[in-house]
Amino acid sequence: MASRSTKKRGIKSFVNIQTIIGSAVVFLLVWLIATMAMGTEQKAIFLPGVSSEGHAGFEASCASCHDGFKKVSNETCNRCHEAELAQDIHGEKKFRDIRWAEKLESLDALTCTACHGEHVQMYGRGVHLQPDLCIACHQGIIEGDMTSHEGFTADGCWTAGCHNYHDHRAISTGFLYDNLDQAPMLPVQTVPEILVETKLETAPSPDLKGEFLGGGS
């Protein structure tokens, strides 16, 4: 008898747990649907973190970047950034070159969101970036490949203001190749001579009343 009673209580407890879980799931679904049907302020509760400085305005419209709960695509980013990325040195074209295929194993540079993360606190400049992002592919530079960079830290490539991932033409091998015929240094800057022609032979007499009172009394 004790065994049957224990089994019944166990079954009853299991049913109660299932009921509680089922009710909770139904409640969450109803809440989710109701929230999505409401205005922007209610949808803001789905933000996993603070938006980056440049995208804060989009918090008023999730659909500006998101199609439902899908990840943001390159096409979405290009709606606003296509023009400024037209000369992107690290663009997709570069990594379509088989020479750099190996680099994609370290970082999927073909995808904007591989580098840029939204709603996460990483670094407060533009769309959030990891400070040591460059080292995913360029670790060797600070480990002996370049004497000039010995002793540099892994988080200083762009945070120090030295390098810009999308526009680093000053150090790009392609840029150097295109300008091999240029002088090694820019010409010495000089201040141009300025010739001022005066219409009066002598300076006019000072007249403070005329200057400040418009000639009135």
Taking only the tens place, the pLDDT of each residue in 153-187 is 888 888 777 888 888 776 666 666 777 787 777 67
If you search the block for the tokens 């000089």, which residue do you land on?
A: 190
CA atoms within 13 A on the CB side of 108: 6
Residue 127 token pair: 């769309």
Of 133, 103, 95, 102, the C-alpha closest to 117 is 133
Rounded to two decimals, the pTM is: 0.55
The mean-pLDDT minimum among 15-19, 58-62, 156-160 falls in 15-19
pLDDT tens for each residue of 100-121: 888 888 888 888 888 888 887 6
Q: How far apart, in whole angstroms, are the C-alpha atoms of residue 165 and residue 83?
A: 16
Phi, psi (rounded to 5 degrees) for 130: -75, 130
Helix (H) or strand (E) holding 29: helix 2-37
pLDDT at 43 over 70: no
Per-domain residue ranges for the chain? 1-37, 45-178
pLDDT of residue 176: 66
Q: Please compute the mean of the pLDDT values over residues 48-70 and round it to a whole number.
A: 79
pLDDT of residue 44: 64
pLDDT of residue 167: 81
Helix (H) or strand (E) holding 76: helix 74-81
| Maximum mean pLDDT: which of 37-46, 66-75, 170-179, 199-208 | 66-75
pLDDT tens for each residue of 71-89: 889 999 998 898 888 888 8
158 near 134, Cβ under 8 Å? yes
